[in-house]
Amino acid sequence: MKTRIIKVGAHGDILIPGEITRAVKLKPEDNIVVREDYDYLVIEKPKKMFGEKIEKLLKKGLKDVEWNDIEKEREDRKW
């Protein structure tokens, strides 16, 4: 894990260093999740949304999908 100290801009902007954006494969126009957690600022690249994964399963068909697969996808969600 890379840790860097960066300055907050005059308007509250932050710039994520290119080295980190490349490491997490963050591209321009991607969404990120920003939250406050016990006085910490947490920035996360969102996991693929549960609904999108289920939609993909439904489009492909559920022939090889078991209920445990669906439950695991639900457990992986953080929010």
pTM across the whole model: 0.52
Whether residue 52 sits in one domain with residue 42: no
What's the DSSP call for residue 71? H
What's the DSSP call for residue 77? -
pLDDT at 32: 87
CB 40 within 8 A of CB 59: no
CB 26 within 8 A of CB 41: no
Q: Range of 38's domain? A: 1-46
Give the 3-state secondary structure of residue 64. Answer: coil
Domain count for the chain, please give it.
Answer: 2
pLDDT at 10: 93
Whether residue 33 sits in one domain with residue 12: yes
pLDDT in tens, 6-34: 999 999 999 999 988 898 888 888 888 88
